[in-house]
Amino acid sequence: MGFEGVAPALTGRPSYHPAVPLKIYIYGYLNRLQSSRRLEREAQRNVELDTADRAEPEIAEAKTIRLNEKITLLKQQMVQLR
């Protein structure tokens, strides 16, 4: 068909690898997200989750300890209510 590679302008943004939009499309299909705006929001939310996952381990460990303490406290309160 005569398709050739495109030489982007120097002021333009670099192109995405074709696998990236395909992954987003498949993610949206599997999670029943039909709107491109919802897909965009979901992609941003997952990026924020990845950023949080890269947080320092000490912070994550402190949060885990605090959450486990809260769970223990709630379990004790549930036992008392019975």
3-state DSSP call for residue 32?
Answer: coil
Range of the domain at 75: 19-81
In a domain, 13, yes or no: no
Number of domains in the chain: 1
In a domain, 5, yes or no: no
Contacting residues for 45 by C-beta, under 8 A, at least 6 apart: none
In a domain, 11, yes or no: no
The type of residue at 15 is S
Is the CA virtual torsion 24, 29, 32, 38 positive or negative?
A: positive
For the segment 32-42, what is each residue's pLDDT rounded down to a tens digit?
A: 988 989 988 88
Q: Which parts of the chain sit beneath pLDDT 50? A: none
36 token code pair: 């491109």
The predicted structure's pLDDT at residue 20? 84
In a domain, 36, yes or no: yes
